[in-house]
Amino acid sequence: MTEAVDTLALRLSPRHRECLWHVFQLRTSKEIAIVLGIGVGTVDSYIAEAVAILGAPNRRRAAEMLYGDRDGAPPGKLEGETPGVAAGSGDDPLPSQGMQVGEWQVLLPFRYKGAHRNELGPIHRLFWLILMVLAAAASFGMLAVGLEVLSRLLARA
């Protein structure tokens, strides 16, 4: 590990390190959850937090940063896998990754694949709130007009 990685690694809890060790051993989140006796979502949360702390683009790279200098590295390619972890805005999108952080999808008020929480800023939240209020007002107006038309039709009959 480099000095920068060593400094960042001090912020990792033992559980973060344990989860990243299993990632380094090429285990899936489900396999890690079974070994550690915790839920898959909890494993993904620990890994996502560790990736964020280390500033890695994905879980494999975080595991490699932490354990890559050790002997007995597991076989297999450690690049390109990002399940459960959002890529950074400076990362090149891989063909199988779909939408990346920083593209239009993150502006929607829904969780998107790879996000561990809703990361809308205050301006975007305000925008969506105003948009929902306007949509509700328009819907109520359409309902009122529809009821008025219906009452006029029934009055003629």
Does some domain include residue 111? Answer: no
Q: pLDDT tens digit string along 92-130? A: 444 444 444 455 555 666 665 555 566 667 887 888 889
CATH number at 40 reads: 1.10.10.10
Spatial neighbors of 84 by CB under 8 A, at least 6 apart, are 29, 44, 47, 48, 59, 114, 116
Structural domain boundaries, residue 12: 3-85
Overall number of domains in the chain:
1
| Closest by Cα among 75, 24, 68, 76 to 32 | 24
Does some domain include residue 51? Answer: yes
**Angle, in degrees to the nearest 10, between helices 40-54 and 59-67:** 70
pLDDT value of residue 75: 43
Does some domain include residue 96? Answer: no
Q: Structure pTM?
A: 0.45
Tokens of 9: 């690694």
Does some domain include residue 33? Answer: yes
Does some domain include residue 77? Answer: yes
Does some domain include residue 100? Answer: no
